Structure 1
Amino acid sequence: MKKLLFIWLLLIPAGVFAQNEVHPEGYKLLWFFLILVAIPILYYFIRKLLPKSVNTKGKPVSVSRRQLKIDLLKDRKYCPNVLTLRVENKSKKDIDLEAPVLSFRKLWSKRNFKLKGINRYEIYPLFLEAGKTHELRIDLSVFFNHDRKLKRFFRAKIRLQDTKGKSYSSSSIILRRSLFS
């Protein structure tokens, strides 16, 4: 009898805690994620369905207002020795350019170098006329000799700024293979 009473006393707390759990009201979190996903999809379809604006000559209006086209090219696919910066002024106005900044990037590390000119001659700020192209060859061995750790950086990018303060940048290029490139 004592054993039965002891087991019955042990089971009382289990009976008290055996209640139904109260779930959250509805699927509020699910609705939140559905709306979060639906907004970009609706935006995409609305942009596709609406007619594009056309100027009086019948040519589509360019959405891009980029005045400079900046390309950073490399001489080899991986481990290049020379990078070529090509800046094309696509606007109808002349532009004064400040010195470009070469940015080496690793995962969380970044090193920036200001390019001042060629062969110890300073050519920046540069006056670039409308429709003209400027090309600058960048020898990477100078940077690698300056800091040996730069060989471990696997991305490079150029940032330019005009004298009015508007900034432009090239797309990032891969210098060497890595786990993330």
Structure 2
Amino acid sequence: MKRIFLFAIFCIPLVGFAQNEVKPEGDKLLWFVAVFVAIPLLYIILSRVFAKPNKLKGKPVSVKKNQLKIELLKDRKFKPNVLTLKITNNSKKDIDLEAPILTFRKIWTKRKFKLKGINRYVIYPLFLEAGKTHELRIDLSVFYNHDRKLKRYFWSKVRVFDTNGKKYSSSYITLRKSLFS
């Protein structure tokens, strides 16, 4: 009896794990590929059928020149004390500007500050005439005294909105050396 029991225990894994081979199902794979090819083709065909008739084909695309040129300049290469914001109106129209937003950025964190004016004088919203330049000097020691952790941030950027809601942005400048800058 013991021998039959041991034989049954040793044979169970062989019986339990034995499988019949199944042939690859190529038809399902072909249907899967066909659906993924058909969806974009159907979208392209429908977009051309329902396209606006007044669109001219071959019409050159005009690139609109930026109305505002936003520059953020620093007084030193690394660890600057003063940033200078230059806003130049290149358009033929006058523009109303909201208060700019100064952004300090680390790798995953950002801190944003709204710049309201100079020496406790509120100068924003600002009316900038066509062809004129506005310059604002930003002393960073005020921000560093407010929050000491800002000295550890690597980059800074300024965003300006006009009263119509259009967003203009400067490029990032490097405040201090990092592995990424």
CA 1:162–1:65: 2 relative to 1, 3 Å:
same
Alignment match, 1:172: 172
Q: Distance in 1 between matches of 2:73 and 2:24?
A: 58
Question: Aligned residues, how many?
Answer: 158
Q: Distance in 2 between matches of 1:138 and 1:174?
A: 15
Alignment match, 1:148: 148
Q: Which runs of 4+ in 1 moved over 3 A?
A: 1-5, 20-29
The residue correspondences of 1:6-85 to structure 2 (distance < 5 A) are 6-7=6-7, 9-19=9-19, 20=21, 25-26=28-29, 53=60, 61-62=62-63, 64=64, 66-85=66-85
**How far has the Cα of 1:165 moved from its partner?**
2.0
In the alignment, structure 2 segments of 5+ residues that lack a partner are: 37-56
Alignment match, 1:118: 118
TM-score (norm 2): 0.70
CA 1:16–1:172: 2 relative to 1, 3 Å:
same
Q: Distance in 2 between matches of 1:14 and 1:70?
A: 75
Q: Distance in 2 between matches of 1:135 and 1:23?
A: 70
In the alignment, structure 1 segments of 5+ residues that lack a partner are: 33-49, 55-60
Identity %: 64
The structure whose Rg is larger is 2
* CA shift digits 1:56-76 (9 cap, x unpaired): xxxxx32x4532111112222
**How far has the Cα of 1:95 moved from its partner?**
0.2
RMSD between superposed Cα atoms in Å: 3.3
Give the counterpart letter for 2:60 in structure 1. S
Alignment match, 1:102: 102
